[in-house]
Amino acid sequence: MTTTIEKAAAAPVPPSAPSRWGAVRSTLLRWWRSLTAMRTALILLFLLAVAAIPGSLLPQRSLSQSQVTGYFAEHPDLAPVLDKLFLFDVFGSPWFAAIYLLLFISLIGCVVPRAIEHARAVVAAPPPAPRHLHRLPDHRTIDSELDAAAALDVVEEELRVRRFRVVRRDGKNGPELSAEKGFLKETGNVVFHFALLALLLGLAGGKLWGYEGSILVTEGDRFCNTFQQYDNYREGALVDAADMTPLCVTLQDFRAVYEENLTAASFTADIDYGLAGSASRNTTIGVNSPLRADGGRVYVTGHGFSPVFSVTFPDGESFTDISAPFLPSDLQTLGSQGALKLPDVPGTDTQLALEGFFAPTGSVQGGVLTSIDPRPLDPQVALIIYEGYLGLDSGLPQSVYSIDQTQIDRGTLERVGQANLKVGESTTLADGTVVTFSGVKEFAAMQLSHDPGQVWVLGAAVAILVGLLGMLLLRRERVFARATAGPDGPGTVVAVGALTRGSADTAPRFTALTDDVAAALARRTRSQENPSS
């Protein structure tokens, strides 16, 4: 009689509840598999392309600060909202970087195991022939009077001529062979994805070790490649200012050519450039023809005008031929707004500022100056002159292209005059100060970029194209053959089957192969029957 203790000992032990760490590990593994799936990589690649669209539709600070400023002037309510979403700095935004990083991780987790599996498949022998060859998409049986070994010899020869890798086996259902080729198709797939990874690495390296700076350069002015001189700049996290290219550029002349409908046809700039310690050289650059020097590239990204003024004070002292860039507020006619700030007026502690609107080809209608042509056919300027304290010596940052409106509202700046002037005309203030519109110069918006990853990106792009061509143009093929005894006396039945990837219409190729095999079997049979022939 079984005791209670024995029954308890015989009872099955209930499974223990999974540990908390086991549940966490299972969840993380499931997330990792989802992230490294090819479908996820394709979705992230699509999201990256979509995320880059605002960067092509909206002006970017890294390319042209003046265009961003113009967008703020044209859309004062919308621009601040877009700025909070980093839409004027798309490629440096946190959300773009997050998509970029997730895509990089997804591709690594997807491609590396696939490359290892492909490497194993390359060195491994073709798989054994399936039992039922007639179930393959392409199949055919060929009768031959040769024995099984001789018949398979003929099939092997035909396959090797076509560059198949062939393995012979003694299978359970008779002698058989397996052949395959087209590994370059999968190799192209692996190369494509590794090249995509290399492209992402090149872009990331360019961001980490690269830099770019933008500056407005008036004809006759010079700038050097230092962050202190740029109007705005972007530097990578690993950039050392001491390693920057010691390049200096002087803008000698700028020319803009327009079509009959006043759209810009070309921008060209004559410049002198040189590295520190070397002689300067002359060259001409354009929008799509940058200067390339010692790993740096200097582009022309825009242009505008710098009105030139002369100011003569009552005591005879003067500032002559001083200018400041006026930023275009109308990109079609290049009507521009800007300001010129002067240091202390001689003999006083006050400062003078000129703020106004410049028209390359001006037209005054109802006392208001407008621009009707982007070419400097009749330059005019509408000036408002302020006197007071500008805060130039306060140490606080301020825009060089406009006057702080709060200073006017607080009364630290007082309007002392205004006038519409053509070249050569003057206006006299109440204290006898004479302001003359002397002329106009053109400025070029220049950008210097240094991207150490550009060669890497170019190589990766070429590799992507090569891998893509391999994926699209090559076929992965497997052919199996088995020789069995004929049902009616001597002879052999050769069953051939094929499995092809990368081509929708495989029947013609398979038919040509089996026709050649049948012809070769027939020739071999005749040669054995008539050895002397």
> What predicted TM-score, i.e. pTM, was given to this entire model?
0.65
Same domain? 224 vs 349: no
Residue 469 lies in a domain: no
Distance, CA of 286 to chain centre: 21
Q: What's the domain count of the chain?
A: 4
pLDDT value, residue 530: 73
Q: What is the pLDDT of residues 47-92, one digit of tens each?
A: 988 988 888 888 887 666 767 887 888 888 898 998 888 888 888 7
Q: Is the pLDDT of residue 17 over 60?
A: no
Q: What is the pLDDT of residues 102-137, one digit of tens each?
A: 988 888 888 888 888 888 888 888 999 998 898 998
Residues in the chain: 533
Q: What is the 3-state secondary structure of 280-309?
A: CEEEEEECCECEEECCEEEEEEEEEEEEEE
Q: Which residues pair with 212 in a beta bridge?
A: 234, 449
* Single-letter code of the amino acid located at 438: S
Same domain? 436 vs 327: yes
Residue 327 lies in a domain: yes
Mean predicted confidence (pLDDT) in 249-257: 93
Same domain? 394 vs 510: no
**Which residue among 120, 153, 172 closes a domain?**
120
More confidently predicted of 8 and 154: 154
Distance, CA of 215 to chain centre: 23
Mean predicted confidence (pLDDT) in 229-243: 85
Same domain? 79 vs 95: yes
Structure tokens at 3: 């005791």
Residue 38 lies in a domain: yes
Residue 196 lies in a domain: no
Mean pLDDT of the chain: 86
pLDDT value, residue 299: 92
Mean predicted confidence (pLDDT) in 333-350: 84
Q: What is the pLDDT of residues 366-386, one digit of tens each?
A: 889 999 999 999 999 999 999
Same domain? 309 vs 299: no
Q: 41: closest CA among 113, 115, 117, 100? A: 100
Residue 195 lies in a domain: no
Q: Is the pLDDT of residue 251 over 90?
A: yes
Same domain? 454 vs 367: no
Same domain? 274 vs 330: no
What is d(CA 474, CA 185) in angstroms, rounded to the nearest whole number? Answer: 5
Mean predicted confidence (pLDDT) in 307-312: 94
Could you tell me the residue range of the domain that residue 208 belongs to? 203-303+448-464
User: What's the pLDDT band for 504 if we cut at 50, 70, 90?
Assistant: low
Q: Which residues pair with 309 in a beta bridge?
A: 322, 437
User: What's the pLDDT band for 1 if we cut at 50, 70, 90?
Assistant: very low
What is d(CA 353, CA 311) in angstroms, rounded to the nearest whole number? Answer: 11
Residue 432 lies in a domain: yes
Structure tokens at 216: 């407005």
Q: What is the pLDDT of residues 432-445, one digit of tens each?
A: 999 999 999 999 99
Same domain? 317 vs 430: yes
**Which residue among 120, 138, 156 closes a domain?**
120
Q: What is the pLDDT of residues 388-417, one digit of tens each?
A: 888 776 666 777 888 888 888 888 889 999
Same domain? 486 vs 503: yes
Residue 279 lies in a domain: yes
User: The domain that contains 160 carries what CATH number?
Assistant: 3.30.160.110
Q: Where are the beta strands (DSSP E) in 334-388?
A: 335-344, 351-359, 361-365, 368-373, 380-388
Structure tokens at 118: 């492909």
Q: What is the pLDDT of residues 162-217, one digit of tens each?
A: 999 999 998 888 899 999 998 888 889 889 989 988 988 888 888 888 898 999 99
The H or E element spanning position 450 is: strand 434-450
Same domain? 55 vs 82: yes
Same domain? 299 vs 310: no
Residues with Cβ within 8 Å of 252's Cβ and at least 6 positions away in sequence, in order, are 219, 220, 270, 271, 272, 282
**Which residue among 68, 91, 120 closes a domain?**
120
Q: Dihedrals φ, ψ of 76, to 5°?
A: -65, -25
pLDDT value, residue 447: 92
Same domain? 37 vs 141: no
Residue 130 lies in a domain: yes
Q: Is the pLDDT of residue 13 over 60?
A: no
